[in-house]
Each structure stands twice: as structure tokens, then as C-alpha cells.
Amino acid sequence: AEKLNEFILYALFIGGSIGGLANVYAQLQKAIGATETIFGLLEETVEMEPVQAPAAAIEIGSIAMNEVKFSYPTRADVQVLKSLSFNLPQGQTLALVGRSGSGKSTIASLLMRFYTDFEGEFTANGASVASINLQSWRSALALVPQDVLLFGGTIRENITYGNTDASDAMIIEAAKEANAWEFIEGFPEGLETKVGDRGVQLSGGQRQRIAIARALLKDPQLLILDEATSALDSESEHLVQEALDRLMKGRTSVVIAHRLSTIRKAHQIIVLDDGAVIESGTHEELMQKTGTYAELIKLQDVMGRGDREEEKSDQL
């Protein structure tokens, strides 16, 4: 009987160990995948400076593109931008409007200098942007995208990403300006709250407001908003748009617009189609032309009324 008990005990130990092999194998596969990602990143070529300009504080001022033509390296035969021209004075807002694939996000990529091989001129304060140190250029701008990238740390770490020397008072002020402090203050750990991988612990509207607080704290000279409110519900959109208005005030801004109601106050609006500018002007000027922009506005107004009526019926 004693040997039988020992046999059963050892069998249980061995069985438990064998059963755990599946979990070990799964963790091993996950680790292999993560390792491949890390090694892939380490093997990436370092982005080289196009010129040997020293890193220094710069004054972006007005920005302009003149007869810019661009094709992606992987599809050199397809021209994505066709003779694009605009002049954006310092402190003004330029809105880019157009259907999906019209070239809006490509313009944002060129503004951030992700691509430098294009025809035409891209200048800041009259000087070629290519002559400006890349690090200095990117340090002077901020991007608030539709799909906000948050790191798996704390709210504090995500807000201070662009300004790690910021004091608590500066962080709180930026959070208040971004309409984020109310929900941050509601968390038991406040600024030390963990946001989870890619900010999974926060709602879409909360992630956007964290990104806006980050941009406010950085205080950029050039602001790029890539459809920052398009994926939000009406209540979140109101809070985010209110924060964006504060962020854009007096700041040179380029806005990629999805909901056209958010860009009616823009100093300039460019309507794109297949990489070419088909209309440009203020909201009032474009509405008088009764062209593509006016049609899009009317269509979104009709859809907006339908959405509001649906929300009311849901509340009843």
C-alpha cells in the first residue's frame, strides 16, 4: 500500500509537469516572436541626416510647398501627389479635405520628413526644409493621429514623452487644457495610473486627450492633426475638439479632416482628389462655389442629423 501511494504521488508530480509543457511551449513561441521583432528593429538602418546641418533650435515660421510631385518608393510609377502647392503663414490653420486615398496622409508624411525624395520645393521661412537638421525639425513639431500610440507605462510617462523635464504643475496644466485632468484625477493612482499596452485601459477619447496633453506640453511650432476626432462618439468628439481648439490657437497647424464640421474656421482649406488640388479657399468661399467641398458638407450635415435623431431615439 505504501509503494502504491508513492507511485500515485510520483505519477501526479510527473503528470503535472507534463501538463505544464504546453504552457511552457506557448510562452516559448511568444518569446521567439518578441525576440524576432527586437532583432528586426536592431537591424534597421539608422535614418541618416540628408545634410550635415548641426542640431539647433529652429524657427519654422511659415511653411510652403510649390509644385510638389511625389511617388512612394515601392510604387514609383504611381504619382500620389501631383503639383501640390500651398503657402501657410505662421499661426494659421490649413485643412486638407478629400476622400480616402486622395493624398492627405501623404502630405502629413512629407511634412514630418518621412520621405525626402520628391520633386518641387518644400520651404520653411523661405529656406529649403532639406537644409534643416532632421532632429531639430521633428523636435519643433507634434502629431496627434487618429490611432494614438500610447506606451505601456503610466499616464505621466505618456504625457511627458515630448518634454521629460516638465514639472507636476506643467503636466497638470497641460492635462487640464486637454480636458484630461478630470478623468485622470478620478483614477486612484492619478498620473501614476498604468495605461496598459497601447493604452488599452483607456477609452478612445481618453487616449486622444492624453495625446493632446502630450502635444501641449511639448509646445510645438508646427502641429499636424491626422483625423484626430473621426473615430469618436459625439460626446468624446466635443471634449477632444474643444481641447484641439486650445492647442491650435495661434499655432501653425495642418489638419487632415474627416468630419468637416471641425475645420470650418480654418484659414485655408484644400480639397484633394487623386493627389491633385481641385478646390481651395475658406469655408465660406468654397460653399459659394457649390463644388466638391459644398457637396461633402451637405452630405455630412444630412448624415449628422440622422445620427442625432438616432441618439435621441436611443435615449427615449
Radius of gyration of the chain measured on its C-alpha atoms: 25
Residue 69, beta-bridge partner list: 119
Q: What is the pLDDT of residue 311?
A: 46
Q: Which long-range contacts (CB under 8 A, 24 or more apart) does 231-236 make?
A: 231/146, 231/147, 231/204, 232/204, 232/205, 232/208, 233/205, 234/307, 234/308, 234/311, 235/205, 236/203, 236/204, 236/205, 236/208
Same fold, 45-140+220-316 and 148-219: yes
Query: What one-letter code names the amino acid at 104?
Result: K
> Taking the domains of the chain in order of start, what are their residue ranges?
45-140+220-316, 148-219
* pLDDT, one tens digit for every residue, the chain (316 residues): 667 767 677 676 676 666 666 777 778 888 887 788 788 777 777 665 555 566 667 888 899 999 999 999 888 889 999 999 999 999 999 999 988 888 999 999 999 999 988 999 999 998 899 888 888 899 999 988 878 888 888 999 999 987 888 899 999 999 999 888 988 999 988 899 898 888 888 888 888 889 889 999 998 999 998 876 665 666 677 788 888 888 888 899 999 987 787 788 899 999 999 999 999 999 999 999 888 898 888 887 766 554 544 444 444 4
Sequence-ordered alpha helix ranges (H) in the chain: 2-42, 104-111, 134-139, 155-159, 168-177, 181-186, 204-218, 234-248, 283-289, 292-315
Under 8 Å between Cβ of 91 and 251: yes
pTM score: 0.77
Q: What is the pLDDT of residue 55?
A: 64
Q: What's the CATH fold of domain 45-140+220-316?
A: Rossmann fold (3.40.50)
Integer Cα distance of 168 and 313 in angstroms: 44
Q: What's the CATH fold of domain 148-219?
A: Rossmann fold (3.40.50)
Integer Cα distance of 172 and 217 in angstroms: 10
HSE at residue 224, side-chain half, CA atoms within 13 A, is 20
